[in-house]
Amino acid sequence: MTAALNKDTRNTWHILGPGAIGCLFACHLQQAGLAVRLIGRRPEHGVRRIRLNTDNGEQEQVFAPDHPAQPITHLLITVKAHQTTAALQAVRQRLTAQTLIVLMQNGMGTWQALQDLPTRRIVVATTTEGAHRPAADRVIHAGRGETWVGTLDPRYQADAARVCRDWSATGLVVEEDPEILHRLWQKLAINCAINPLTVLYDCPNGALLNNTEALELMQQVCREVEQVMGSALGEKPSGLFELAKAVSAKTSSNISSMLQDVRKQQQTEIDHITGYLLDQARRLGIACPCNERILKQIKAR
Ligand SMILES: NC(=O)c1ccc[n+]([C@@H]2O[C@H](COP(=O)([O-])OP(=O)(O)OC[C@H]3O[C@@H](n4cnc5c(N)ncnc54)[C@H](OP(=O)(O)O)[C@@H]3O)[C@@H](O)[C@H]2O)c1
């Protein structure tokens, strides 16, 4: 099935970073009746066709070309964390004080890169949807999950609610989370506990559970992360090691995105995962020798 191009363009969503997750959301948003434009590294002049494979079969969405002079009213950022500053540079002139931005990435710390934009209407989202892109025009929706939306600035709570309302029409599970900072930290904690270890042991998530040395390392990582997270949020989180093991078991055959990046010889998101944790640890005066060592080892690759 190929979707038509005639959409209401008053509330166009521009997707900055049409990779696996960007295209997944682009296809679902357009299918739900919203106008969508894709912004990649290079301007595209013709329409762009994306085939999306889901458990319901294959559908094709046709995206009208982006007009680089058109102001952006709604921007969904789905570049990898370390690509954010450069990607925003290219669209900066098109943002206004009214632009609504949704930042949807793994890792933390890119929020700061958005501080000097013309708009303060910034909403953050974190998703457990799984997608990969075997070809530029093809996206596989590999695993259904949930997307949580919230804002770090309570003045923009209504924007988060509106994003949830609009995106719920896609059929994806999209919920508002008034405690989004807590959820972002939880995701960061799990990422710290699993992703770098899969790189060090060059294995799928589940294989960490059969490796005594990896499990000991995971436990040390979790102890340090709990201290930092607890201090940052003013609470005493516990049970991270058990949770990390449960996630490794549930996603046992997955190759983590960090290991995929290393295998493709691409930059990883480690600076926004373990790196962010260590920045916060330094700020809070907490020693994290195990995570320090891991960061160095990953960056040396
Ligand atoms: N994939 C998942 O299942 C999943 C699940 C949850 C969270 N996430 C998170 O979502 C974020 C995106 O992940 P992903 O898997 O979708 O990565 P991805 O497939 O690499 O997508 C990133 C996209 O951004 C594009 N890009 C890079 N620099 C750009 C620039 N300056 N201007 C415009 N576009 C630019 C890339 O283009 P090129 O292709 O030319 O490099 C690529 O298409 C990451 O933070 C990831 O951790 C992913």
Find out whether the beta carbon of 21 lies less than 6 Å from any atom of ligand 1: yes
Q: Which amino acid is at 288?
A: C
Q: Which amino acid is at 246?
A: A
**Interatomic CA distance for residues 31 and 42, integer angstroms:** 24
Q: Is 296 a catalytic residue?
A: no
Q: What separation in Å is there between the alpha carbon of 244 and the centre of ligand 1?
A: 24
pLDDT of residue 10: 62
Q: What is the CATH superfamily name and number for domain 182-299?
A: N-(1-d-carboxylethyl)-l-norvaline Dehydrogenase; domain 2 (1.10.1040.10)
Find out whether the beta carbon of 131 lies less than 6 Å from any atom of ligand 1: yes
pLDDT tens digits for 100-115? Answer: 999 999 999 998 889 8
pLDDT tens digits for 197-255? Answer: 999 999 999 999 999 999 999 999 999 999 999 999 999 878 999 999 999 999 999 99
pLDDT tens digits for 169-186? Answer: 999 999 999 999 999 999
Tell which one of 27, 54, 79, 141 to mutate to probe ligand 1, the residue whose CB is within 8 A of the most ligand atoms.
Answer: 79
The string of DSSP letters for 150-205 reads E-SSGGGHHHHHHHHHHHHTTSSEEEE-TTHHHHHHHHHHHHHHHHHHHHHTT--G
Confidence of residue 44 (pLDDT cuts 50, 70, 90): confident
Picking from 196, 198, 176, 189, the residue whose alpha carbon sits closest to that of residue 293 is: 196
The residue to which tokens 């939880």 are assigned: 186
Q: What separation in Å is there between the alpha carbon of 118 and the centre of ligand 1?
A: 24
- pTM of the model as a whole: 0.95
pLDDT of residue 238: 86
Name the residue at shortest CA distance from atom 19 of ligand 1. 19
Tell which one of 37, 78, 264 to mutate to probe ligand 1, the residue whose CB is within 8 A of the most ligand atoms.
Answer: 78
- Would you list the domain boundaries of the chain? 8-178, 182-299
Tokens of 218: 């995971």
Angular region, 17: left φ>0, alpha ψ -120 to 50, beta rest: left
Residue in 7, 80, 187, 245 annotated catalytic: 187
Whether 6 has a pLDDT exceeding 50, the answer reads: no
Confidence of residue 43 (pLDDT cuts 50, 70, 90): confident
Name the residue at shortest CA distance from atom 48 of ligand 1. 21
Q: What separation in Å is there between the alpha carbon of 16 and the centre of ligand 1?
A: 9
User: Average of pLDDT values for 139-156?
Assistant: 96
Find out whether the beta carbon of 133 lies less than 6 Å from any atom of ligand 1: yes
Nearest ligand 1 atom to the CA of 257 is 47
pLDDT of residue 2: 47
Nearest ligand 1 atom to the CA of 24 is 16
Fold of 8-178: Rossmann fold (3.40.50)
Phi, psi dihedrals of residue 292, rounded to the nearest 5°: -60, -45
Tokens of 85: 């500053």
Residue-wise over 92-114: b if at least 16 C-beta within 10 A, else e? eebbeeebbbbbbbbbbbbbebb
In angstroms, the Cα distances linking 11 to 1, 98, 253 are 24, 12, 39
- Say which DSSP state 2 is in: B
**Interatomic CA distance for residues 19 and 7, integer angstroms:** 22
Rounded to the nearest 10 degrees, how much is the dihedral formed by the CA atoms of 112, 240, 261, 135?
A: -90
Find out whether the beta carbon of 257 lies less than 6 Å from any atom of ligand 1: yes
